[in-house]
Amino acid sequence: MNLTPTHSRIVFVYPPATLSPRPHISGQFNLCLGSAYIIAYLREKGITASPFLFNRPIDAAECTRQILAHKPKLVGFTVYSSNYCACQLLARYLKEADPDIIILFGGPTPTVQARTVLENNAGVDICVRNEGEETCLEIIASLERAGYRLPVANLENIPGITYRRGPDIRENSDRLIPIDLKKAPGYLDRFPSPYLSGLAGSPRLGILTARGCHRSCVYCNCALLSRRFITTHSIDRVMAELLYIQERFGPPYPITDIFDDAFTLIPQRAIDICRAIIKEKIRLPLTCVTRCDFISEDILDLIKEAGFKAVGFSLESAVPRVLRTIGKVSSPDTDQDPTFEKEKEFIDKFKKYVVYAKKIGIDVVYASIMIGLPGETEAEAGQTIAMIDSLKDYLHFYAHNQFQVYPGTPIFANHEKYGLKLLAFQNRIHFKTLYPYDLSRIKLGDNANLIGDSQAQDQTNIKTLALAITRKNGHANTQEAPFFGQLILENDHIGPGLVRWLQRYFAINGHIIQVYSNLAAARKFHLENEQALSQYISPTYYHAAYYRTPLDPPAPYPQTLTPFRFHVLGPQCGFSILLTQTRAKLDNRDDGKDPWQTLCIDRNPDDTRALHQFLVEIESRGTSLTDLFAAPMFPNFHHLCRFQGQAPNCRVLETLFVDEKDHLRTCLTGEPIGRVGMPFEEIQGQLIDLRQATAKRRGCAACPQAGHCAQCLFTNPLPEAEYCSLQRQSPVHRAADSLRTLDIFKDILPSL
Amino acid sequence: MDFGKKTLQDILRKKIGEKDAKQILDAVNDAYKEGIQGDDLVNLFRKKLIEQGHDASDSSYGCVIALA
């Protein structure tokens, strides 16, 4: 089907929802491989389609305006459970702004829960199930014929969609492709390459050499969605993409992920691809995931020779009976092999090939496991970890996952049989898996990825608590940003009022850090709060939880913030943030406490004086980054921003604190600047008035330090006059700015 | 100003070697002196790492990471 070129505009949106501890990518709207394929295909057919790309955080209202600037007739969303709320919110805003825009949801969540999605969201018109290229083309062709008047468009004959027609929800048949067609080598070449068509501007999108899986794993819907069939690109097409990436993006050659469900599921094809890579002299550092029952030493040799930098093996469990239950090797329904010989062989091969892969020099060999699997006991989970630990000299890391029951997977229907429970959130999209035993009791293996990632996340969060402003809003001058990106919640309860306020004024995928009053409160409210974020449609799902713990024996500032994560994933996952008074830390610098895990807070004037004196000390020793990188690491200072030359948080409004009375503050010791529910513009307006009044009162206009002074609005606990005096007599903005700059590297370096 | 012995420079040297660490830190310091800050500086840091052949990606090699 080819359409005549049209002015109709189709925009595809992939809202960010990363749970990555690396926050710098968390606010971006990027291209994803699924919609990239669809866009490339539509363009080939003469349709004006484009991705919505945005490289810095943005709130839902501004995002809606930016999407509308494309003048779209149809907006398609790539929807996962993790970005579902952001998709809901944007769909609603778009529909409110222009009811004629047709909203389409595609991706994993609409594929398995199309009816629920439509029931939940009056603004969503069509759900595309499974692969979207041809389905989208047929939808657009039909809409073109109907002049984009959805009520009269003929959608009845388009397979693979569920859609709204008046008050009804109609579910068309699945899109079935004849087996003969699908099994032809290169079947997928009918879809143009996102790279070769010039659409993909970054190699980070990765590539697919094949789609689908033919296995029977009960926890995964890859095989289900592909009807246990693998469709492939031709080797020539794969080589053309890799050569393009090499020439377009290198040197240096970028790491390029092959995102096939498992690269060697058709072993001979993997061999052919590797040989072609070697023949074409492609030098990209490639990565892939494989299975130890579909690989051999010969294939690993070829993989190494082809330049693969990383190879991952999915193990899931080291217990044969558990492997059978989850269908990893043999179907759980099989009545053959009652002693699990195939599973035992699988485990032996896993060990053998992990060792071999490392031995032949593949840089990064890693594995993935799950604990909490159906029918698994606590001791058996420990067995899996023990086996992984026995291979730690060969495994760069292992992905330590907790088993989750997802809708659409075979286990969803019979999870209760294994003692698992599912808690359905009100939207019936999000579910919480409840296990028969406490998974946090399982000690992680030494090289679990969660250990480093959790530490990086705590570093990110301590940086946020220290108000280390990164200008993520993209507005160098403060009062322009109509939203904020980080929320410190100092109360126990999230209600609808807060979430609805966040919808208006919080960045999509912004960071919420909730500090519960104690462990009991965290246990009581955390799940409820997660449900509230889902139910009331939060623009973010980043919700890090800590609780206050008194120190024993009491310290100068007797608290730590302990990650609630310890009680979910285990006590190895991250670190407690030690809150201490600034002067106490500066008077006792080598107290054995990791400075990176310490947050210094000014509680009395001596704290602020000590901080200032410390900055004077740095000014005298040198404030270049080179000097500071070579100095022993510094703790985090919550009140550093009052001495920096850059605008502090009370002017930038990147982070807001909400207390138990819903008051808003810009730092822990600041005065309230408003309440939850207030329009952000009003808060900004009040702060502008306050700044002007403060500047007038202090005589800032005539101050020689005016150009370098942060002009902190809330100098507590230091008297205002003394603050001005310190700033005038001994300016320390260079030292403060340099320390701030060091802060931004703290969560990156350890996780490299 | 001794808060202990560990330095950021040590961490970087351990991960990528002394020579590469020096080159990257010099480049970052030069950029900082020219007024580059915040995420822009981090991006420059990552770019330099990649240019020297180090892995500065956010990829966890295809693994899904779920942190509470």
Span A559-580, mean pLDDT? 95
- The answer to whether B55 and A254 are in contact (CB under 8 A) is no
pTM across the whole model: 0.93
| CA distance between the termini of chain A | 48
Predicted local confidence at residue B3, as pLDDT:
67
Cross-strand partners of A257: A287
Report the alpha-carbon distance of residue A129 to residue A105 in Å, rounded.
9
Tell me, yes or no, whether A572 lies in a domain.
Answer: yes
Query: What is the DSSP pairing of strand A308-316 with strand A210-211?
Result: unpaired
What does the pLDDT look like over A124-171, one tens digit per residue? 999 999 999 999 999 999 999 999 999 999 999 999 999 999 999 999
Tell me, yes or no, whether A2 lies in a domain.
Answer: no
A148 and A190 inside one domain: no
A424 and A505 inside one domain: no
Predicted local confidence at residue A18, as pLDDT:
65
Span A467-488, mean pLDDT? 68
Amino acid sitting at position A200: A
Beta-carbon contacts of residue A198 (< 8 Å; ≥ 6 apart): none
Report the alpha-carbon distance of residue B44 to residue A578 in Å, rounded.
31
A586 and A658 inside one domain: yes
Predicted local confidence at residue A26, as pLDDT:
58
A341 and A424 inside one domain: yes
Predicted local confidence at residue A203, as pLDDT:
86
Contacts of B52 in chain A (CB under 8 A): 252
Q: Which residues 9-68 in chain B show a CB within 8 A of chain A? A: 9, 11-12, 15-16, 25-26, 28-29, 32-33, 37-39, 41-43, 45-46, 49-68
Contacts of B55 in chain A (CB under 8 A): 255, 309, 752
Q: Is the pLDDT of residue A556 over 60?
A: no
A128 and A263 inside one domain: no
Cross-strand partners of A174: none
A316 and A288 inside one domain: yes
Provide the residue range defining the domain that includes A578. Answer: 455-751
* B20: confidence class by pLDDT, cuts 50, 70, 90: confident
- Mutant choice from A625, A627, A744, A748 vs B, greatest count of B C-beta within 10 A: A625
Chain B interface includes A27 (CB < 8 A):
no
CATH number at residue A144: 3.40.50.280
- The answer to whether A408 and A221 are in contact (CB under 8 A) is yes
CA distances from A101 to A66, A91, A123, A125, A158 (A): 14, 10, 9, 9, 20
Q: What is the mean pLDDT of chain A?
A: 92
Residue A669: closest CA among A692, A638, A647: A638
Q: Which of A204, A568, A635 sits opposite B3 (nearest CB)?
A: A635
CA-based angle A477:A481:A485, to the nearest 5? 115
Q: Is B8 close to A457, i.e. CB distance below 8 A?
A: no
- The answer to whether A252 and A437 are in contact (CB under 8 A) is no
User: Any alpha helices (H) in B34-66, and if so which ranges?
Assistant: 38-51
- What are the b/e assignments for A14-25, b being 16+ CB within 10 Å? bbbbbbbbbbbe
Q: Is the pLDDT of residue A476 over 50?
A: no
What does the pLDDT look like over A292-341, one tens digit per residue? 999 999 999 999 999 999 999 999 999 999 999 999 999 999 999 999 99
Neighbours of A134 (CB within 10 A): 18
Delimit the domains of chain B by residue range.
8-51
Distance from CA of A156 to the nearest CA of B (A): 37
**What percent of chain A shows pLDDT beyond 70?**
94
Half-sphere exposure of A267 (CA within 13 A, CB side): 10
Predicted local confidence at residue A97, as pLDDT:
97
Amino acid sitting at position A92: R
Distance from CA of A660 to the nearest CA of B (A): 22
Q: Is A375 left (phi over 0), alpha (psi -120 to 50) or beta?
A: left
- Name which residue leads in pLDDT, B15 or A188: A188
Q: Which residue spans within A168-264 are E strands per DSSP?
A: 168-171, 210-211, 231-232, 256-257
Span A659-684, mean pLDDT? 95
The phi and psi torsions of A518 (rounded to 5 degrees) equal: -165, 180
- Name which residue leads in pLDDT, B21 or A444: A444
Q: Which residues 186-245 in chain A show a CB within 8 A of chain B? A: 204
Q: Is A470 close to B9, i.e. CB distance below 8 A?
A: no
Predicted local confidence at residue A312, as pLDDT:
95
What does the pLDDT look like over A201-254, one tens digit per residue? 888 889 999 999 999 899 998 888 888 899 999 999 999 999 999 999 988 888
Cross-strand partners of A205: none
- The answer to whether A577 and A597 are in contact (CB under 8 A) is yes
Give helix then strand counts, H and E, for chain B.
Answer: 3, 0
The phi and psi torsions of A517 (rounded to 5 degrees) equal: -70, -30
A441 and A476 inside one domain: no
Q: Is the pLDDT of residue B32 over 90?
A: no
A332 and A232 inside one domain: yes
What does the pLDDT look like over A717-734, one tens digit per residue? 999 999 999 999 999 999
Predicted local confidence at residue A24, as pLDDT:
40
Cross-strand partners of A211: A231
Which of A395, A417, A447 corresponds to the end of one domain? A447
Span B30-58, mean pLDDT? 76
For residue B68, give the chain A residue with the closest CA: A565
Tell me, yes or no, whether A3 lies in a domain.
Answer: no
Q: Is the pLDDT of residue A471 over 80?
A: no
Predicted local confidence at residue B68, as pLDDT:
24
Distance from CA of B61 to the nearest CA of A (A): 7
- State ipTM: 0.81
Q: Is the pLDDT of residue B2 over 80?
A: no
Report the alpha-carbon distance of residue A382 to residue A473 in Å, rounded.
44
Predicted local confidence at residue A470, as pLDDT:
62
Calculated CA dihedral for residues A659, A660, A663, A665, nearest 10 degrees: -10
Predicted local confidence at residue A625, as pLDDT:
82
Cross-strand partners of A168: A165
Q: Is B61 close to A614, i.e. CB distance below 8 A?
A: no
Number of domains in chain A: 3
A362 and A263 inside one domain: yes
Which of A121, A146, A171 corresponds to the end of one domain? A171
Q: Is B50 close to A404, i.e. CB distance below 8 A?
A: no
Which of A140, A171, A202 corresponds to the end of one domain? A171
- Name which residue leads in pLDDT, B63 or A515: A515
Using CB atoms within 10 A of its CB, is residue A434 exposed (0-12), middle (13-18) or buried (19+)? middle
A694 and A617 inside one domain: yes
Span A485-498, mean pLDDT? 96
Chain B interface includes A254 (CB < 8 A):
yes
Tokens standing for A356? Answer: 């071999």
Contacts of A366 in chain B (CB under 8 A): 61, 63
- Name which residue leads in pLDDT, A748 or A409: A409
* A714: confidence class by pLDDT, cuts 50, 70, 90: very high
3-state secondary structure of A123: coil
- How big is chain A, counted in residues? 752
Q: Is the pLDDT of residue A591 over 60?
A: yes
Beta-carbon contacts of residue A279 (< 8 Å; ≥ 6 apart): none
Predicted local confidence at residue B34, as pLDDT:
87
Cis peptide before A553 (omega within 30 of 0): yes
Report the alpha-carbon distance of residue A641 to residue A735 in Å, rounded.
11
Contacts of B7 in chain A (CB under 8 A): 629-633
Q: Is the pLDDT of residue A477 over 50?
A: no
Tell me, yes or no, whether A413 lies in a domain.
Answer: yes
Q: Is B41 close to A741, i.e. CB distance below 8 A?
A: yes
- The answer to whether A189 and A174 are in contact (CB under 8 A) is no
* A651: confidence class by pLDDT, cuts 50, 70, 90: confident
Tell me, yes or no, whether A684 lies in a domain.
Answer: yes
A689 and A568 inside one domain: yes
What does the pLDDT look like over A339-381, one tens digit per residue? 999 999 999 999 999 999 999 999 999 999 999 999 999 999 9
A167 and A184 inside one domain: no
Neighbours of A124 (CB within 10 A): 26
Chain B interface includes A626 (CB < 8 A):
yes
Q: Which of B4, B49, B61 sits opposite A287 (nearest CB)?
A: B61
Q: Is the pLDDT of residue A632 over 90?
A: no
